[in-house]
Amino acid sequence: MAGPEWGPGGTSWDPYADAVAAAGGEPIHLASSTRGREAEVLSDLQGILFTGGLDVHLSNFRVRVDLEGLTVDEYQETYRMEPEPQRDAYELPLLDLALQRDLPILGICRGCQLLNVGMGGGLILDIPLQTGTRLRHAAFPPPERKSSAHSLSIEPGTLLASYLDPLVVDRCNSRHHQAIPSTPAPGLRVSAISPEDRIVEAVETPERRWVIGVQWHPEHRLDPEVRRLSRPLFTGFVEACT
């Protein structure tokens, strides 16, 4: 992750680190300067959290994408994508190795989408353009960048439901324009949706030790009620890492 906001003390890093620390974990910052040393990096970790951010570049999708006669750049522009190829180049190898080692993995927003792409799935590239839903999933424009919000339906009996009571956690904050399709990557199953339009809001892997991806932002300080209700998710992640 590039930029000072993603380093310790930065406005993007701190909410995630604080949520992990509050759950009893020790957050460790991973810098892209360690690219190529994934095995060394992961040898010192008990789990890994992939954070929010911008879009995964189409060149990293293992599924075929019909470019409709456009170049990759033109296609990404059509679907309002803002790719982060440098982050992809760092995070996808980390994800591959973390999956091989069966480390606990928590993916948040972009991290949830990265999980699906890294496991061989695709994405809805722009929710409004490709689904026609009238429900707002993206954050409001700057300068406020306030989250949108909508109802949330957590599937009973899932790992996610063991941390977030489906009868209590029925709303989430929303800050994304892409989403995982209704059929996720092989090995993943859907564990939460937006019931109004059935957009996927969480996935998990039943056959692995502990892997959960959520599309909302449970760490977001400006959404204190969501942050409060989501604390058990971070607690579960930290417990899985010990």
pLDDT in tens, 210-234: 999 999 999 999 999 999 999 999 9
Look at residues 237, 223, 219 and name the one whose alpha carbon lies nearest to residue 19.
219
Distance CA 133, CA 196 (A): 9
Neighbours of 224 (CB within 10 A): 9
pLDDT at 5: 65
pLDDT > 70? residue 107: yes
Choosing from 109, 112, 172, 241, the catalytic residue is 109
pTM over 0.85: yes
Domain count of the fold of the chain? 1
Residue matched to tokens 């982060």? 84
What is the rounded CA–CA span in Å between residue 201 and residue 13? 22
112 is catalytic: no
Is residue 3's pLDDT more than 70? no
| Residue 48 CA to its chain's centroid (Å) | 12
Average pLDDT, the chain: 94
Active-site entry in 57, 137, 150, 217 = 217
CB atoms within 10 A of CB 178: 23
In which element (H, E) is residue 134 found?
none
Residues 50/94/180/149 CA torsion (nearest 10 deg): 10
- Cα(148)–Cα(215) distance, rounded to whole angstroms? 13
CA-nearest of 172, 179, 174 to 79 is 179
Neighbour order of strands in the sheet with 48-50: 48-50, 105-108, 211-214, 199-204, 189-194, 153-154
CA 184, CA 53: separation in Å to the nearest integer? 20
Query: Catalytic: 217?
Result: yes
Tokens (6 digits) for 208? 């692995």
Segment (H or E) for 193 = strand 189-194
108-167 pLDDT per residue, tens: 999 999 999 999 999 999 999 999 999 999 999 988 899 999 999 999 999 999 999 999
Letter for the amino acid at 52?
Answer: G
Q: Which domain holds residue 89?
A: 4-241
Task: Check 176, 219, 220, 241 and give the catalytic one.
Answer: 219
We report the CATH number of the domain holding residue 70 as: 3.40.50.880
Q: What is the mean pLDDT of residues 30-53?
A: 89
Q: Is 150 a catalytic residue?
A: no
